[in-house]
Structure 1
Amino acid sequence: MFDEPRRQLGACVVLLAQDGELTNALYHALSREVPNVHAILEDRIGRVELLRGRARRFGWRVAAGQAAFTVGIVPVLRLTSRARIAEIHQAADLKKDALGNPIRVPSVNHEQVIEWLDKLAPVVIVIFGTRILSRKTLSAIKVPVLNLHAGITPLYRGVHGAYWALVEGRPDLVGSTVHFVDEGIDTGRVVSQAKFDISHDDNFATYPHLHFAAGLPLLLDAVHSLMDNDPLKPATAVTADHPSILRSHPTVASYISARFRLGVS
């Protein structure tokens, strides 16, 4: 799958991500542990393009409901959860200062990315919140690619793992996963997993931050091991009598229903 990396003078880690405070926190956390870290940030997908993509997959009714949830409910949850989010960040000792001079690209699958990777010659690549890496891009990468995933894979693939686990009455399956990246969506070999508890102060807006705080130490450990040429042993993924499903965003209607019927906010 990839050539075994070897720690050497000037060896670097590349972070492929999108703009955001958790991206900043991940970059600074890596920089505290690794002398040479480069960030390559892709442009976000436009709202119209995103809506069309969801409509092709789910139909326009569901896509519109998801868009309404993202635009109408999520900002309110974020606003009312600022204190709780700050508490999570403080407990995890996250530094969120803006990145000084990241490399900007249209997409992680743009040819510029491979050109930059050839120049930087990283020993490990970390992806966080990007588009799915295409087969062409993956085939051109010869080093390990790690992902910090918000959910327990392979059970909760896609997005919002904690939320969907709670909706399905499985608080025992709330957690984060570090895994290698392959051609599937969150289907790569599991490196490590960590579960965490949800408090009464948490909701849809705080879950991503809890996922990040739980998974960050695992990711840093994995990066260290790979840079030291220590092959990561296959981890035993969390298993349950539960199907592996690719999750997406809730709609306004499904969120309100779960909040009042199940108490999941």
Structure 2
Amino acid sequence: MERIMMICTLGPSTSYVYNHVSRDFNIEDVIVVRKESRKVFLKKRIKRLGLWKVIGQIMFVLYSKIFLSKNVHSRIQMIQRQFNLNSDDIPEEKITHIDSINSEEMKRRIKEVDPDLIIINGTPIIKEDILSATEARFINIHVGITPKYRGVHGAYWALYNNDDDLVGVTTHFVDKGIDSGEVLDQKVVRVGQNDNFLTYSHLQLGHALRDYNKIIQSVLSNRYTIKEPLTVESAIWSHPTLLSYLYGRVVKKVR
């Protein structure tokens, strides 16, 4: 039987993926990468993006928790029913916690399990020495159409840019770049009147998971097909600031 490993952070999207894949396959090992402390995370982000942009992003996070979170629970439940998404927690006995995905400990664990396939979800960028620690392929679901909407919140930024035909989701092999691996599947997603920034990813994952287990089987049997992406344009996107979100909300009508 094929050995599947999952490397992830915990959250609804990871639960969706784990529970969906487990319907057809046995995931032998789930490595949960501990999140950095908020202080370390903010320090790195400020160095990369600048202080004022990070302050704007923090203000947007607070805004989304206070205002955008109203009434989204019922919409998320509707999406879960529509796509049969299971948000149950991963069984604790399956989980091993690790401090860093790019550590010797991670490399040793991969070699011990000797997986045939590694599923990634919500992790930091994986360095080349980890990717080369095994002959197994790494696959990921990215909530955006690559390569134009790499980074985060691909559906939101596509809507913001009036790219309605590029609001979607990508299943791809993982390489050392940022969401730059070969494309296994892309699907365009149509958002509804009741969707907003907090529901887009649930909708995107629902669409991606429809064919995900078939893709896993094709990779395990080495019969997968690499697809041409829907766009060749390339960009990396970050979190919106409160100002950019409010501009998009008022002028572009993007929620």
TM-score (norm 2): 0.94
Aligned residue runs from structure 1 range 180-199, under 5 A: 180-199=173-192
CA shift, 1:126, in A, is 0.8
User: What amino acid does structure 2 have at the position aligned with 1:186?
Assistant: D
Where 2:23 maps in the other structure, the secondary structure is: helix
Q: 1:216 aligns with which of 209, 234, 238?
A: 209
Residue 95 in structure 1 maps to residue 86 in structure 2: yes
CA shift, 1:261, in A, is 0.8
| 2:45 paired residue number | 54
CA shift, 1:75, in A, is 5.3
Q: 2:234 aligns with which of 237, 244, 249?
A: 244
Residue 162 in structure 1 maps to residue 168 in structure 2: no
CA shift, 1:200, in A, is 0.8
Runs of 4+ in 1 over 3 A off after TM superposition: none
Where 1:186 maps in the other structure, the secondary structure is: coil
Where 1:39 maps in the other structure, the secondary structure is: strand
Q: 1:234 aligns with which of 226, 236, 247?
A: 226
| 1:142 paired residue number | 135
Where 1:109 maps in the other structure, the secondary structure is: coil
Q: 1:39 aligns with which of 26, 30, 43?
A: 30
CA shift, 1:26, in A, is 1.0
- Flag structure 2 segments of 5+ consecutive residues without an equivalent: none
Where 1:32 maps in the other structure, the secondary structure is: coil
Residue 116 in structure 1 maps to residue 109 in structure 2: yes
Say if 1:31 and 1:37, in contact at 8 Å, map to a contact too: no
User: Over residues 47-105 of structure 1, what are the superposed CA-to-partner deviations in whole Å (9 max), with x where a residue is unaligned?
Assistant: 22222222111110001111221233245423430000111011111122111221111
Say if 1:84 and 1:202, in contact at 8 Å, map to a contact too: yes
Distance 1:202 1:142, change over 3 A: same
- Flag structure 1 segments of 5+ consecutive residues without an equivalent: 1-8
User: What amino acid does structure 1 have at the position aligned with 2:101?
Assistant: V
* Distance in 2 (alpha carbons) for counterparts of 1:75 and 1:134: 36
Where 1:131 maps in the other structure, the secondary structure is: coil
| 1:200 paired residue number | 193
| 2:20 paired residue number | 29
* Distance in 2 (alpha carbons) for counterparts of 1:55 and 1:81: 30
Say if 2:117 and 2:137, in contact at 8 Å, map to a contact too: yes
Residue 260 in structure 1 maps to residue 250 in structure 2: yes
Instruction: Give the superposed CA RMSD.
Output: 1.5
* Distance in 2 (alpha carbons) for counterparts of 1:54 and 1:194: 30
Where 1:33 maps in the other structure, the secondary structure is: coil
Say if 2:69 and 2:198, in contact at 8 Å, map to a contact too: yes
User: What amino acid does structure 1 have at the position aligned with 2:190?
Assistant: D
User: Over residues 181-220 of structure 1, what are the superposed CA-to-partner deviations in whole Å (9 max), with x where a residue is unaligned?
Assistant: 1111011111110111011100000011011111113332
Say if 1:74 and 1:204, in contact at 8 Å, map to a contact too: no
TM-score (norm 1): 0.91
Where 1:113 maps in the other structure, the secondary structure is: helix
Give the % identical residues: 33
User: What amino acid does structure 1 have at the position aligned with 2:42?
Assistant: L
Where 2:211 maps in the other structure, the secondary structure is: helix
User: Over residues 201-249 of structure 1, what are the superposed CA-to-partner deviations in whole Å (9 max), with x where a residue is unaligned?
Assistant: 000000110111111133322211122232x222111026xx3110000
